Amino acid sequence: MTVPEHQSGDDKQHAVNRNKGVRRAKRDKRLRIPVLPEEERVIKAKAYEAGLTVAEYLRNLGLGYSVPSMIDNRQVDALLKINADLGRLGGLIKLWLTNDERTKYIGKSQLYMTLDTIQETQSVMLKEIMKLRK
């Protein structure tokens, strides 16, 4: 985005983001950082994993900001799906315990199978949580 020439120096430091209508500082300085080919590959891979451009990734690290990880977000999504499964299973048990007419043909064996499924799901969820803690 270009800034009109008639603006003062301070005004040139900010540009209007037309998509959001917010003024923010214009980044016009470049830093050149010599790296080895392997370092370049690692930096690009980590930026990709974080869902950032290389410039955003390095800027965040250089300024001391934490870099979000897309892998963590995928694990959170997996946990949310597991949580939804547990909610559905809990709903089935609640329905059975209220002696709802729709569940009169569900026997104890089906209830025990549902409880086993809940335990298995909890085990999967615990494994995902342990991955997040590493």
60: which 2 tokens?
Answer: 């965040």
The more confidently predicted of residues 46 and 11 is 46
Q: What is the pLDDT of residue 55?
A: 94
SS3 23: strand
Task: Round to whole Å and give the CA distance between 112 and 96.
Answer: 12
Strands 22-25 and 14-17: antiparallel
On the question of pLDDT at 4 being above 80, the answer is: no
Average pLDDT, the chain: 78
Mean pLDDT of 79-107: 81
- Residue 3's pLDDT band, with cuts at 50, 70 and 90, is very low
Q: Which of 36, 4, 6 is CA-nearest to residue 15? A: 4
**Cβ atoms of residues 67 and 61 within 8 Å:** yes
Q: What letter does residue 20 receive in the DSSP assignment?
A: T
In Å, how far are 47, 97, 122 from 73, measured between CA atoms? Answer: 15, 36, 19
**Cβ atoms of residues 49 and 71 within 8 Å:** yes
Q: What is the pLDDT of residue 134?
A: 63
Q: Which of 74, 52, 72, 70 is CA-nearest to residue 61? A: 52
